[in-house]
Amino acid sequence: MLTLTRATLREIRMQLKAPFRISSGEVRERRVLLLELESAAGARTWSECVAFQYPNYSPETVDTAWLALTEWLLPRLLGVPLTGPQAAHALLEADVRGHRMAKAALEMGLWGLAAEEAGIPLARLVGGTRSRVAAGISLGIRSEPAQLVEDAAAAAAAGYCKIKLKIAPGADVAFVAAVRQALPATPLMVDANNAYTIADAELLAQLDAFHLVMVEQPLDHEDLVRHAELQRRMRTPLCLDESITSLARAEDMIRLGSGRIINIKPGRVGGFTSALAIHELCIAHYVPVWCGGMLETGIGRAYNIALASLPGFTLPGDLSPSARYWQRDIVSPEWTMDASGDVAVPLDRPGIGVAVDEEQVEALTVRRLVVTADAAPVAVAAGAKLS
Ligand code: OSB
Ligand code: MG
């Protein structure tokens, strides 16, 4: 039995090495919600919520996740014996709509905790089969094509297996053309983060000329129907990110033909149980998947790397190492990549595979809250009104 007895929520702030721009905004400093979890058996681990400061990627934010975790999610799991981490998903879904990033932070942490308790690597617990995973890089929007070419050339030289270019109206076809000309043979893709509408179909179809591996989430963050129409009008595979928030949405995508590839971010779909189900579905339908990123610290990356070691993750993930975003990461060892663009899956140590630099975390903490099983009955009673 896996019983969560204590959770510590923290918000830390970390400065990115360089501002990261997507179509809906720019991040300079990352506010990150971390969880530290303890079990009745005395195991302890860390997990991370992928929500950003502003609701410009999904409706959730650091502050809504903090609220959801403390008010509704932690109270229903603290002190409750679980047959295993896979039992948490249904409990977190019951009568709480949405808040998937908050749910995922807790649910994934339970997988980390179970791996600690079992004394096995997280990658093994989830069914991973690879010892190395291929890393791609995501390059933010720049004001001039020449700057993007410079970034992309450096990424190719560093060995990245796939280069993703963020695009937006005014920073699209000419930018992609310049990079393709400079790097004729590099696997390239673009990610629009919802910056277009179906009225832009002709412009988007111009991207077919650049032999891209895929075009990620060009249309609305909740859309499936218009993506299906766009996919019919383009040769390049569409990949959905924001629109896939659950197994049901993945089934809808496949049924409607809204895309041919899925970016699985476990933190976006409610956690590992949901991510594993989507992975299975995609294997059954020959839909390639890859693991996306959310500018995580080394804690969040540990979960992504464990997931990416599963057999259906056949495309390089946004798994760039610690030094890509951080002067100093909060894990040791920091995540690194070899010259062929591979990240080693830490199969030589139990749990999430890296140690958390707790002194550093403490120094970066701006708020902290401890919730224990003893305190839970109050909140459980409040929640009980719902059932
Ligand atoms: O859509 O994948 C995205 C960063 C911020 C917001 C959205 C996205 C991204 C990334 C980052 O592409 C990838 C990474 O974490 O390395
Ligand atoms: Mg994306």
Residue type, 281: L
Q: Ligand 2 centroid to 7 CA: how many Å?
A: 30
Q: How many CB atoms lie within 10 A of CB 378?
A: 10
Q: Residue 383: is its pLDDT beyond 60?
A: no
pLDDT band with cut points at 50, 70 and 90 for residue 381 = very low
What is the position in ligand 1's atom list of the atom closest to the CA of 295? 15
Per-residue model confidence (pLDDT) at position 252: 98
State mean pLDDT over 208-234: 98
Determine the Cα angle at 273 with ends 45 and 324, to 5°. 55
Sign of the C-alpha dihedral computed for residues 327, 328, 331 and 332 taken in this order? positive
Q: Is the pLDDT of residue 156 over 50?
A: yes
Q: Tell me, what's the pLDDT at 98?
A: 98
pLDDT exceeds 70 at position 364: yes
Q: Name the DSSP letter for residue 313.
A: B
**Residue 115 near residue 85 (C-beta atoms within 8 A):** no
Q: How confident is the model at residue 329 (pLDDT cuts 50, 70, 90)?
A: very high
Average pLDDT over residues 348-360: 97
Position 217 scores a pLDDT of 98
Average pLDDT, integer, range 268-275: 98
164 classed as catalytic: no
pLDDT digits (tens, 9 = 90+) for 162-213: 999 999 999 999 999 999 999 999 999 999 999 999 999 999 999 999 999 9
Q: In the predicted model, is pLDDT for residue 319 greater than 50?
A: yes
- Could you say which ligand is closest to the alpha carbon of residue 262? 2
Nearby residues for ligand 2 (ion, Cβ within 5 Å): 191, 216, 241
Q: How much of the chain, in percent, has pLDDT values that exceed 90?
A: 96
DSSP 8-state code for residue 70: I
Give the pLDDT score at 377. Answer: 41
pLDDT number for residue 374? 76
pLDDT at 385: 38
166 catalytically annotated:
yes
Q: Looking at ligand 1, which residue's alpha carbon is closest to its atom 14?
A: 293
341-368 mean pLDDT: 98
Q: Is the pLDDT of residue 92 over 90?
A: yes
Pairwise CA distance, residues 2 & 117, whole Å = 8
| Residue 39 CA to ligand 1 centre (angstroms) | 32
CA of 372 to the centre of ligand 2 (A): 35
Banded pLDDT at 384 (limits 50, 70, 90): very low
Catalytic residue among 103, 162, 164, 166: 166
Reply yes or no on whether the pLDDT at 256 is more than 90: yes
Buried b (16+ CB within 10 A) or exposed e, 177-209: ebbbebbeebbbbbbbbbbbebebbeebeebee
CB burial readout 341-354, b (16+ within 10 A) else e: bbbbbbbeebbbbb
Helix (H, G, I), strand (E, B) or coil at 332: strand
Ligand 1 and 138: CB distance under 6 A: yes
- 38-75 per-position pLDDT tens digit: 999 999 999 999 999 999 999 999 999 999 999 999 99
Q: Taking residues 72-80, what's their average pLDDT? A: 97
Q: Diameter of the chain by CA atoms?
A: 62
How confident is the prediction for the chain on average, in pLDDT? 96
* Integer Cα distance of 325 and 322 in angstroms: 6
